[in-house]
């Protein structure tokens, strides 16, 4: 019986229909960027200083420039033992006093021999931010003692990535790629709009977590979907370009953030287009490979016929019957235990887990477990030695490179559709080497 790869060789491995589907899935990949790295713009930290009551009025009366105002009223960094930053402390004086000098107002406060002896106080009245527009930092004052809340904001989305990536992958195997993709798009779009109207920091964390819970799983589902209905020769190409689309999304996001400097409007601008992806219900087919694995061969053949028609070709009569694979025990129910059930798959799982979680534990704030704790520790390592995060990243990355060499080569090979197929990938490669050596020996043998 023919396989899907056999049929694709006749109806088009990456022809018009697949190219159209691939293009619209690349739009989904590009739209994932604001969730993954949006904190760069949503959580922008501008230059700031304590708001000191009376300073604005004194500056206006004295016609100070901004430089003069800062010089006269803001503590200099490192000058006071009580504070290492002028952004989080202010002079503990009453700027509303009458008769303050415009040339050196601090001299009017009796009892202090010089500026360094003036006591400092926390920013009890808020902050002044030297930036146009707004961010979650300026709106919720996530600076100084509350700067960790910005780290928590990014960690929440990474917690969502970690939990959602596992569970949505299971749901995609259980209920289908297309249904899972549409559900994640709907939840992601709705939570993104709600985030733009979040009334408090707590609600903002909740909606951000929900976005993380579904967005990365949806992105991965789109990646799987496109690789499952193209031919062997194009599988690597579509995988690479799908991620290139994410990079293009970075460029577009930067341009949008430049034009829209207010974080709530920016969040709405990058979220609302996601609702158009619900049109995938009519534009994308279910994965024929998944349907075959679920013993739904009739539905798979309908989609194959649809692909052939879109490519302006026909399925040859000899290839219009798919193997039901009944010898494998019928339809299989996916399980997390499948990841560690057999020796080869267990080895592959552990290597890939190292590469994607542990491999970015310290230096990347964008990948699941590593991203959850990175915002809290990466700057601590930089305080010990500025280049230490880069050194740790390089060492762990080199270890990952070595481990990846232990994985099987997939170039030009059919995707494994069962656990047995994945387990036998190494044995098949060894058997081919044995056959090749046997033939070579016969060729060089003397007559």
Q: Going from the N-terminus, what domains does the chain have, and what CATH number goes with each? A: 4-40+144-331 (1.20.1250.20), 48-130 (no CATH), 335-447 (no CATH)
- Per-residue pLDDT, 281: 93
Tell me the per-residue pLDDT of 48-95, one tens digit each, with 9 for 90 and over. 889 988 888 988 889 989 888 888 888 876 444 444 457 888 888 888
- Per-residue pLDDT, 380: 59
Tell me the per-residue pLDDT of 408-440, one tens digit each, with 9 for 90 and over. 776 666 666 566 666 676 665 544 444 444 444
Give dist(CA 222, CA 178) in Å, integer. 8
CA angle 256, 261, 265 (to 5 degrees): 80
Instruction: Concatenate the DSSP letters of all residues of 260-322 into one string.
Output: --BHHHHHHHHHGGGGGGGGHHHH-PPPHHHHHHTT-HHHHHHHHHHHHHHTT----GGGS--
Tell me the per-residue pLDDT of 350-399, one tens digit each, with 9 for 90 and over. 776 655 574 433 333 345 566 666 666 665 566 567 677 777 777 877 88
- Per-residue pLDDT, 391: 79
Structure-block tokens of residue 51? 């708001």
| Eight-state DSSP code of residue 384 | H
Q: Return all residues near 117 (Cβ < 8 A) that are at least 6 apart.
A: none
CA angle 404, 407, 409 (to 5 degrees): 110
Query: How many CA within 13 A on the CB side of residue 189?
Result: 15
Tell me the per-residue pLDDT of 4-37, one tens digit each, with 9 for 90 and over. 888 888 899 999 999 999 999 999 999 999 998 8
Banded pLDDT at 335 (limits 50, 70, 90): low
Tell me the per-residue pLDDT of 301-327, one tens digit each, with 9 for 90 and over. 999 999 999 999 988 877 777 654 433
180, 193, 354 from 351: Cα distances, Å: 27, 37, 5
- Per-residue pLDDT, 41: 93
> Mean pLDDT score of the chain, rounded to an integer?
80
> Distance between alpha carbon 136 and the CA centroid of its chain, in Å?
19
Other Cβ atoms less than 10 A from the Cβ of 123: the count is 20
344 in Cβ contact with 422 (< 8 Å): yes
Tell me the per-residue pLDDT of 138-175, one tens digit each, with 9 for 90 and over. 999 998 888 889 888 988 998 898 888 778 878 888 89
Q: Count H helices, E strands: the chain?
A: 20, 4
Tell me the per-residue pLDDT of 279-300, one tens digit each, with 9 for 90 and over. 999 999 999 989 988 888 889 8
pTM of the model: 0.75
Other Cβ atoms less than 10 A from the Cβ of 137: the count is 24
- Per-residue pLDDT, 259: 94
Tell me the per-residue pLDDT of 107-135, one tens digit each, with 9 for 90 and over. 777 666 577 778 888 888 899 998 888 99
Residue written as token pair 């033992």: 81
Q: What is the four-CA torsion angle of 131, 136, 137, 140, rounded to 10 degrees? A: 120
3-state secondary structure of 444: helix
The yes-or-no verdict on residue 441 having pLDDT over 50 is no
**Closest residue by Cα to residue 291 from 305, 279, 277:** 305
Tell me the per-residue pLDDT of 194-219, one tens digit each, with 9 for 90 and over. 999 999 999 999 999 999 999 988 99
Tell me the per-residue pLDDT of 230-280, one tens digit each, with 9 for 90 and over. 988 898 899 899 999 999 999 999 999 999 999 999 999 999 999 999 999
């Amino acid at each position: 019986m023919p396989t899907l790869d056999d049929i694709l060789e006749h109806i088009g491995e990456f022809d018009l229909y697949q190219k159209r589907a691939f293009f619209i899935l690349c739009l989904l990949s590009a739209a994932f960027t604001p969730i993954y790295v949006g904190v760069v713009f949503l959580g922008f930290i501008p230059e700031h200083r304590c708001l000191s009551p009376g300073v604005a009025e004194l500056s206006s009366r004295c016609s100070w420039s901004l430089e003069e105002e800062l010089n006269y009223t803001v503590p200099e960094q490192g000058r006071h033992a009580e504070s290492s930053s002028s952004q989080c402390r202010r002079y503990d004086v009453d700027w509303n006093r009458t008769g303050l000098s415009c040339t050196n107002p601090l001299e009017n406060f009796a009892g202090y021999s010089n500026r360094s002896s003036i006591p400092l106080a926390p920013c009890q009245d808020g902050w002044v931010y030297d930036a146009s527009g707004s961010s979650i930092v300026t709106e919720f004052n996530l600076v100084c003692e509350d700067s960790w809340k910005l780290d928590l904001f990014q960690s929440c989305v990474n917690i969502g990535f970690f939990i959602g990536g596992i569970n949505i992958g299971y749901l995609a195997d259980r209920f289908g790629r297309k249904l899972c993709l549409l559900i994640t798009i709907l939840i992601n779009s709705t939570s993104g709009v709600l985030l733009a109207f979040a009334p408090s920091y707590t609600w903002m964390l909740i909606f951000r977590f929900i976005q993380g819970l579904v967005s990365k799983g949806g992105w991965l589902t789109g990646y799987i979907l496109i690789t499952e209905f193209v031919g062997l020769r194009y599988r690597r190409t579509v995988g690479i370009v799908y991620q290139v689309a994410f990079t293009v999304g970075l460029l577009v996001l930067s341009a949008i953030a430049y034009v829209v400097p207010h974080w709530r409007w920016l969040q709405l601008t990058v979220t609302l287009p996601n609702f158009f992806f619900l049109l995938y219900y009519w534009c994308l087919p279910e994965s024929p490979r998944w349907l075959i694995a679920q013993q739904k061969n009739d539905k798979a053949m309908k989609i194959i016929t649809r692909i052939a028609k879109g490519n302006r070709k026909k399925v040859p009569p000899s290839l219009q019957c798919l193997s039901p694979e009944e010898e494998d025990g019928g339809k299989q129910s996916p399980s997390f235990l499948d990841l560690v059930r057999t020796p080869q798959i267990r080895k592959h799982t552990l290597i890939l887990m190292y590469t994607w979680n542990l491999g970015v534990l310290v230096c990347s704030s964008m990948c699941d477990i590593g991203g959850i704790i990175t915002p809290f520790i990466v700057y601590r390592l930089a305080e010990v030695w500025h280049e230490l995060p880069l050194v740790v990243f390089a060492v762990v990355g080199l270890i990952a490179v070595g481990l990846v060499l232990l994985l099987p080569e997939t170039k030009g090979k059919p995707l494994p559709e069962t656990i047995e197929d994945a387990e036998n990938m190494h044995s098949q490669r060894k058997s081919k080497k044995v056959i090749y050596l046997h033939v070579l020996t016969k060729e060089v043998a003397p007559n």
